[in-house]
Structure 1
């Protein structure tokens, strides 16, 4: 019973993109490990950029500098 946990920043990930992630990661488990899609669980968490850090900084600050 595979459990796949995906975390992404909450920067406009669409429902269609989430569906693609679910389908793609489930298919990967089927192809690589021979797992059943009926027992493969995928959870997607969207994390605020204020709550995601890279190095010493919040992603929010990094994104502000990039614009």
Structure 2
């Protein structure tokens, strides 16, 4: 049973998330030969103030 844990910035709509998980599920089924009901996807919305890249918070202006 493939399980995906995906973290992304908050702010996506329910429809965007729905399309995203449908696409991931389809790609997983096509490439691994599994049934859709065996694919688990956990989406975690993260505030930009709680994510940093290169020592800089995403809530701060990027250079």
- TM-score (normalizing by structure 1): 0.86
Partner residue, 1:34: 33
Stretches of structure 2 lacking an aligned partner (at least 5 in a row)? none
CA distance in 2, matches of 1:44, 1:30: 19
Aligned residues: 63
Partner residue, 1:18: 17
CA distance in 1, matches of 2:6, 2:18: 12
Q: Give the ranges of 4+ consecutive aligned residues of structure 1 lying more than 2 Å apart after TM superposition.
A: none
- TM-score (normalizing by structure 2): 0.91
